[in-house]
């Protein structure tokens, strides 16, 4: 492969262990968000999509603080002498992550204010800030405030009878400076106004008043202009936005659990009021007020983020959908119908004859829904078993399972209650499924069920013209969730098969999840926490042995994250043996590529584009036999040792070639949207130079049209 030219991204060098073998996880996550923000800076990306990427960075940072930064704070409190995986003290790691985040947030808001918003204004999309209103606009805005906002706002004065309220996680709040005396003769100084989540954060102004086809007013602008309406006969001296981010990781003691769902329901409310980890304030907030806010919520100056604009950019995410300007968005993509089912032959017949590969979002997820709905209504189907990790609030998948119950099928659903930030949704689905009559289980306490499996058992004729019947299994295995909406946004593979050995393996995994059984040797599947890591290690070592023997050796792997130290060590050893290793890691990667004597044969690249790269693919040359496994698991400690995951082989040669071409080679040939990792953990965006520009996702879209 020819060497490609690169252009430097504006990133901060990452810090490694003294021995230099691992990179810092938190800094790696921030590096990924820098690559996402770079999409907003790319003129080739449609303008409204650039705004969306700015918002995605905010959403990612929210979770980063709720989980990762909160975790570092806990470690600093509970084990201040502890070290992170890369050898830094937790204090050093927190300080470096804070510095990097401050720079990332500053760049994000500069991109919004200095680039995106001026370009949007030229296209007729304008945000009316308080100081820009004319008389007619102000009249409309006041009427809206009085009619729609004021009645649901509750100002809380701060005095001995009204202590500082414990504000909800990530809620929008306003601190209001006051002067004068109230009706009781008390001096008015400060008040807090919390904006209920039901209130719109962005309101469209009528075009005839705006002067723009799409004029918008932020909730903060309404508040700053009319908050005095909430304090009659009191002078308002200032009104400033702020937002508190809290620790949102849930803790459920495995030792004390008797009912996981009940325990989790008791824990969920605490998510809104966990320990504070970040304070965001608008840039114009006076220093004295920010110090007061920090003191009240128990944070220090390093936890303060001053922003030039709305404190929650995620609330701007609906704007692209509110603006009817197709030229400013990605061209519409309609997923292609799966060719294997285009001939009208019954789905079960097709799957029984040959395996079917599904590549989302390029191919439609409807094939999975169609199969499940067919099974729910087919009188010959006797049982359905499925894992559920994320499905969404409205789910055709869950509706089909409940239909199957009503039609007399034996339905078993393994619902993962601890799917982060989907816990409440999954509890609700579990209750509805149980009410419908399904068997609902929650897997194995201490091991999240992240595997994506659907098993259908059908009674069929044993042979043509034979009255005897037999039970036949059909299976869907996937790298992504059973979530129709994300299936249009995430790249994932699914496999539909009636292979008896694969189906038997899936049956045994369900046995482990729903009942109790000893260790069972599976025919084909690798399963965490039992065999996934050991199989990965053995196949990496096999490539190293081939390389040392002078035979061809190659590893290509695609995943979301690479952090597990033992697998990284094996990759280093394989590189030293001469194995060529190409890793496509979308997010955080703790491995250092390109280090002489350690990893000079390893390349790491990240693809960031229109779709979220989500499939996990493991390829080993295996002496020419080409071993290929798809999986729900990243190469992380949690996925390999603390979750129930499966990796499944692609046995059909034609489908194997498709996966290699569509998920590996096309990304290795990408010379425009790929970011290549450097030994210090920074990334350089690959530039095509004089070559033809190749963008993997665009090529894949062309393949499936």
CATH number assigned to the domain comprising residue 596: 3.30.870.10
| pLDDT on residue 271 | 57
**Residue 56 domain-assigned (yes or no):** yes
For residues 407 and 163, the model is more confident at 407
Predicted confidence (pLDDT) at residue 29 exceeds the cutoff of 90:
yes
| pLDDT on residue 327 | 97
Give the pLDDT mean for 181-201: 88
SS3 479: coil
164-168, 300-304, 453-457: least confidently modelled range: 164-168
Predicted confidence (pLDDT) at residue 490 exceeds the cutoff of 80:
yes
Q: Among 70, 93, 110, which residue terminates a domain?
A: 110
Q: Are residues 311 and 223 in the same domain?
A: yes
Q: Are residues 552 and 600 in the same domain?
A: yes
Q: Are residues 365 and 459 in the same domain?
A: yes
Residue whose token pair is 């098993």: 455
Q: Are residues 512 and 533 in the same domain?
A: no
d(CA 310, CA 293): 18
Q: Report residue 250's pLDDT band, with 50, 70 and 90 as the boundaries.
A: low
**Residue 453 domain-assigned (yes or no):** yes
**Residue 130 domain-assigned (yes or no):** no
**Residue 581 domain-assigned (yes or no):** yes
Q: Are residues 314 and 441 in the same domain?
A: no
| pLDDT on residue 689 | 63
Q: Are residues 494 and 550 in the same domain?
A: no
Instruction: List the domain range (segments joined by +) for residue 651.
Output: 527-703
**Residue 127 domain-assigned (yes or no):** no
Q: Are residues 487 and 539 in the same domain?
A: no
Residues 6+ apart with CB under 8 A from 190: 157, 158, 175, 176, 177, 178, 292
Q: How far is residue 508 from each of residues 91, 521, 524, 567, measured CA to CA in Å?
A: 45, 9, 12, 26
Q: Which residues pair with 235 in a beta bridge?
A: 179
CATH of the domain at 252: 3.30.1840.10
Q: Are residues 540 and 574 in the same domain?
A: yes
Q: Among 480, 497, 522, which residue terminates a domain?
A: 522
Q: Are residues 383 and 310 in the same domain?
A: no
Give the pLDDT mean for 64-81: 93
| pLDDT on residue 519 | 77
| pLDDT on residue 392 | 81
pLDDT digits (tens, 9 = 90+) for 429-488: 888 998 999 998 987 878 889 999 999 999 998 776 667 889 999 999 999 999 999 999
| pLDDT on residue 355 | 98
Length of the chain as a residue count: 705
In the chain, the number of structural domains is: 4
Predicted confidence (pLDDT) at residue 422 exceeds the cutoff of 80:
no
Predicted confidence (pLDDT) at residue 263 exceeds the cutoff of 80:
no
Give the pLDDT mean for 683-700: 85
**Residue 188 domain-assigned (yes or no):** yes
**Residue 199 domain-assigned (yes or no):** yes
Q: Are residues 387 and 311 in the same domain?
A: no
CATH of the domain at 79: 1.20.58.310
Residue 629's closest CA among 516, 477, 484? Answer: 477
Catalytically active residues are: 450
Predicted confidence (pLDDT) at residue 5 exceeds the cutoff of 60:
no
pLDDT digits (tens, 9 = 90+) for 604-652: 999 999 999 999 999 999 999 999 999 999 999 999 999 999 999 999 9
In the chain, count of helices (H) and strands (E)? 22, 28
Q: Are residues 669 and 626 in the same domain?
A: yes
**Residue 128 domain-assigned (yes or no):** no
| pLDDT on residue 166 | 85
Residues 6+ apart with CB under 8 A from 317: 52, 55, 59
d(CA 178, CA 201): 24
Q: Are residues 369 and 230 in the same domain?
A: no
């Amino acid at each position: 492969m020819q060497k490609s030219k690169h252009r430097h991204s504006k990133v901060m060098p990452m810090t490694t262990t003294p021995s230099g073998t691992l990179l810092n996880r938190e800094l790696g996550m921030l590096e990924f968000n820098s690559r996402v923000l770079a999409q907003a800076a790319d003129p080739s990306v449609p303008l409204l999509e650039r705004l969306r990427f700015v918002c995605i960075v905010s959403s990612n940072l929210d979770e980063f603080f709720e989980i990762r930064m909160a975790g570092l704070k806990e470690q600093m409190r509970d084990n201040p002498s502890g070290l992170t995986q890369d050898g830094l003290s937790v204090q050093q790691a927190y300080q470096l992550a804070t510095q990097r985040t401050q720079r990332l947030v500053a760049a994000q808001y500069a991109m919004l204010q200095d680039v995106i918003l001026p370009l949007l204004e030229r296209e007729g999309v304008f945000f009316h800030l308080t100081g820009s209103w004319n008389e007619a606009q102000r009249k409309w805005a006041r009427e809206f405030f009085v009619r729609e906002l004021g009645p649901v706002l509750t100002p809380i004065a701060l005095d001995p009878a009204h202590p500082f309220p414990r504000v909800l996680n990530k809620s929008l709040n306003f601190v209001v400076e006051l002067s004068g005396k109230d009706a009781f003769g008390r001096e008015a100084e400060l008040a807090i106004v919390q904006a209920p989540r039901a209130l719109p954060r962005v309101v469209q102004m009528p075009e005839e008043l705006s002067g723009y086809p799409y004029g918008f007013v932020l909730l903060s602008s309404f508040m700053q202009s009319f908050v005095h309406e909430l304090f009659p006969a009191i002078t308002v001296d200032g009104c400033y936005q702020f937002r508190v981010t809290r620790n949102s990781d849930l803790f459920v003691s495995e030792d004390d659990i008797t009912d996981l769902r009940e325990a989790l329901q008791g824990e969920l409310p605490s998510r809104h009021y966990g320990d504070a980890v970040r304070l965001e304030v608008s840039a114009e907030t006076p220093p004295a007020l920010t110090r007061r806010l920090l003191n009240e919520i128990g944070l220090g100056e390093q936890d303060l983020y001053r922003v030039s604009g709305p404190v929650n950019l995620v609330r701007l995410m609906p704007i692209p959908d509110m603006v009817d300007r197709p030229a400013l968005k990605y061209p519409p993509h309609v997923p292609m119908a799966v060719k294997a089912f285009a001939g009208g032959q019954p789905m079960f017949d097709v799957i029984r004859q040959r395996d079917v590969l599904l590549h989302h979002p390029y191919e439609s997820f409807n094939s999975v829904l169609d199969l499940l709905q067919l099974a729910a209504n087919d009188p010959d189907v006797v049982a359905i078993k499925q894992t559920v990790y994320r499905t969404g609030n409205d789910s055709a998948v869950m509706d089909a399972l409940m239909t199957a119950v009503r039609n007399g099928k034996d339905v078993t659903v393994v619902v993962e209650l601890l799917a982060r930030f989907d816990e409440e949704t999954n509890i609700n689905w579990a209750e509805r499924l149980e009410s419908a009559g399904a068997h609902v289980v929650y897997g194995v306490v201490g091991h999240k069920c992240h595997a994506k499996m659907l098993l259908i058992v059908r009674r069929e004729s044993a042979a043509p013209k034979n009255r005897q019947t037999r039970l036949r299994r059909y299976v869907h295995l996937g790298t992504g969730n059973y979530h129709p909406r994300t299936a249009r946004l995430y790249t994932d593979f699914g496999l539909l098969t009636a292979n008896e050995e694969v189906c038997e393996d899936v049956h045994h995994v369900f046995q482990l999840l729903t009942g109790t059984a000893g260790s069972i040797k599976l025919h084909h599947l690798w399963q965490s926490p039992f065999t996934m890591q050991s199989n990965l290690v053995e196949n990496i070592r096999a490539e190293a042995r081939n390389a040392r023997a002078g035979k061809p050796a190659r590893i290509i792997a695609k995943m979301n994250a690479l952090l597990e130290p033992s697998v990284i060590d094996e990759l280093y050893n394989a590189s030293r043996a001469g194995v060529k290793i190409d890793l496509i890691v979308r997010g955080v990667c703790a491995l250092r590529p390109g280090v002489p004597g350690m990893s000079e044969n390893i390349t790491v690249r990240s693809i960031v584009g229109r779709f979220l790269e989500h499939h996990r693919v493991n390829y080993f040359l295996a002496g020419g036999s080409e071993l290929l496994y798809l999986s729900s698991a990243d190469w992380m400690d949690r996925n390999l040792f603390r979750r129930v995951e499966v990796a499944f082989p692609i046995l059909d040669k034609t489908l194997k070639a498709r996966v290699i071409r569509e998920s590996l080679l096309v990304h290795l040939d990408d010379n425009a949207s790929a970011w290549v990792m450097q030994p210090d953990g920074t990334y350089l965006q690959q530039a095509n130079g004089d070559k033809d520009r190749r963008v993997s996702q665009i090529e894949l879209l062309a393949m499936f049209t």
